[in-house]
C-alpha cells in the first residue's frame, strides 16, 4: 500500500506490514551528470561521461569521488577536479580487481592440489569425511553440507562416474577437491587437528601454517569481493590476516601496519606483497608481479597511500626490486 511518505509492504518473515520510506525519484543519465557538475566536477567530454554512467552505474562510479572532494563535504569537489580523474581511478581499480582475481585463482588451484595430496596420504582418500580429524565438528559438518550441494550441482563427468558407476557417494579427496569452493577448502585446511598436515600444505610457500591458513581465509574474502566488482583500491578489510613474523625473511621488511586504522582493519598493501610471493612460488616465471608494478606506476602517486602503502614503499625491498626490474 502506498502512502504520501512511502510504502507499506507485507513482511513474509515477520507476518507484519513493514513501512519503507519513499526513495528519491530516479534520475536520467543527464540528471546524474548534472548533479556531479553542480558539485563542482569539471566535465570536458560530456558524451563520454554519459556513456560511462550508462554502462557502469552512477552509484558504482560515485564512491571514487572521495579523494577529490573537500574533506569537510563529500559532495563538494576540489577545484579543477575532472570526470576523467574519477574515471581513471575507477579504471585502475577495475584492472586491479582483474589482477587480484587472476592471482587468487592461481593460489586456489595450488591450494586444492596441496590439500588433496597431503590429506589423502596422511588421513586416507576419504579422511576428509571423518570429523575426528577436525577441530570443530560443527564447522566440519557445515562444510560437508556445502560440499554435497556442490556435488549435486556439478556437471563434471568424473563426479558422475564415482557416484553412479563406482557407487561412491563421496569421492576421494583428489576428486572432491576439483569441485570444492576456495572457501570450503580453506575451512577444511584450517580446521584440521594435525598441524603437521597444515604445515605440509604451506611448506612450498615458506610460510608457517598459521599464517598460511589465515591468509587463505583472507584471500577467499578478497577474491569474492573482487568477483562481485567491489571496490578494492582503498577498501578496509575487517579481517586482518596474520603477517609472517620469521619467514620468509626477505618479505618481513616490506610489511606495513597502518596504526591510523581501527584495530583489526587493513588495506590491500600487505596482501599484494604476499600475492607477489605466492604467485612467484607457484610460477617462478610469472609476469604477474610485472603487470602489478606497471599498474601501480599508472596511479596518481597521491592516491597510493589510500591503498595502505607506506610513504617509503618504493625503497622497501620487494617494491624496489620490481621497480628496478621493470622501469
Contact present, 69 and 60 (Cβ < 8 Å): no
How confident is the model at residue 268, as a pLDDT? 95
The span from the CA of 190 to the CA of 135, in Å, is: 9
Residue segments in the chain with a per-residue pLDDT below the cut of 70: 1-22
Please tell me the distance from the alpha carbon of residue 292 to that of residue 272, in angstroms, as a whole number.
Answer: 9
Residue 224 grid coordinates: 569474492
What is residue 235's predicted lDDT score, i.e. its pLDDT?
Answer: 92
What gap in Å lies between CA 240 and CA 45, rounded to an integer? Answer: 41
Can you give the C-alpha Rg of the chain in angstroms? 24
Relative to beta strand 73-77, strand 6-11 is: unpaired
Q: In this predicted structure, what is the pLDDT of residue 296?
A: 97
Residue 118's φ and ψ, nearest 5 degrees, are -70, -40
Looking at residue 3, its pLDDT comes to 56
**182 near 219, Cβ under 8 Å?**
yes
pLDDT digits (tens, 9 = 90+) for 67-116: 999 988 888 999 999 999 999 999 999 999 999 999 999 999 999 999 99
| C-alpha dist (Å) from residue 188 to 139, 144, 159, 225 | 9, 9, 19, 21
Longest dimension (CA), the chain: 70
- Distance, CA of 39 to CA of 35 (rounded, Å): 6
Residue 14: predicted pLDDT: 60
Amino acid at each position: 500500500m502506498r502512502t504520501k511518505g512511502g510504502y507499506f509492504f507485507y513482511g513474509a518473515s515477520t507476518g507484519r506490514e513493514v513501512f519503507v520510506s519513499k526513495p528519491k525519484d530516479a534520475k536520467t543519465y543527464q540528471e546524474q551528470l548534472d548533479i556531479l557538475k553542480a558539485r563542482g566536477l569539471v566535465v570536458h567530454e560530456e558524451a563520454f561521461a554519459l556513456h560511462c554512467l550508462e554502462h557502469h552505474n552512477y552509484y558504482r562510479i560515485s564512491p571514487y569521488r572521495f579523494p577529490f572532494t573537500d574533506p569537510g563535504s563529500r559532495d563538494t569537489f576540489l577545484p579543477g577536479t575532472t570526470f576523467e580523474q574519477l574515471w581513471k581511478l575507477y579504471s585502475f581499480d577495475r584492472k586491479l580487481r582483474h589482477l587480484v582475481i587472476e592471482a587468487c585463482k592461481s593460489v586456489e588451484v595450488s591450494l586444492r592440489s596441496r590439500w588433496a595430496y597431503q590429506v589423502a596420504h596422511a588421513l586416507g582418500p576419504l579422511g576428509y569425511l571423518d570429523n575426528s580429524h577436525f577441530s570443530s565438528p560443527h564447522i566440519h559438518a557445515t562444510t560437508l553440507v556445502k560440499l554435497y550441494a556442490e556435488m549435486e550441482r556439478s556437471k563434471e563427468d568424473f563426479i558422475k562416474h564415482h557416484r553412479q558407476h563406482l557407487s561412491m557417494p563421496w569421492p576421494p579427496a583428489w576428486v572432491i577437491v576439483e569441485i570444492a569452493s576456495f572457501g570450503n577448502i580453506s575451512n577444511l585446511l584450517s580446521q584440521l587437528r594435525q598441524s603437521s598436515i597444515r604445515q605440509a600444505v604451506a611448506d612450498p610457500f615458506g610460510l608457517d601454517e598459521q599464517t598460511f591458513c589465515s591468509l587463505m581465509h583472507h584471500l577467499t574474502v578478497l577474491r569474492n569481493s573482487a568477483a562481485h566488482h567491489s571496490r578494492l583500491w582503498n577498501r578496509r578489510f575487517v579481517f586482518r590476516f596474520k603477517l609472517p613474523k620469521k619467514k620468509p625473511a626477505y618479505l618481513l621488511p616490506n610489511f606495513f601496519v597502518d596504526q591510523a586504522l581501527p584495530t583489526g582493519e587493513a588495506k590491500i598493501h600487505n596482501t599484494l606483497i604476499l600475492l607477489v610471493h605466492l604467485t612467484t612460488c607457484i610460477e617462478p616465471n610469472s609476469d604477474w608481479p610485472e603487470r602489478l608494478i606497471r599498474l601501480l606506476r599508472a596511479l596518481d602517486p597521491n592516491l597510493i597511500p589510500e591503498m595502505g602503502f607506506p610513504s617509503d614503499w618504493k625503497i622497501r625491498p620487494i617494491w624496489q626490486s620490481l621497480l628496478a626490474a621493470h622501469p
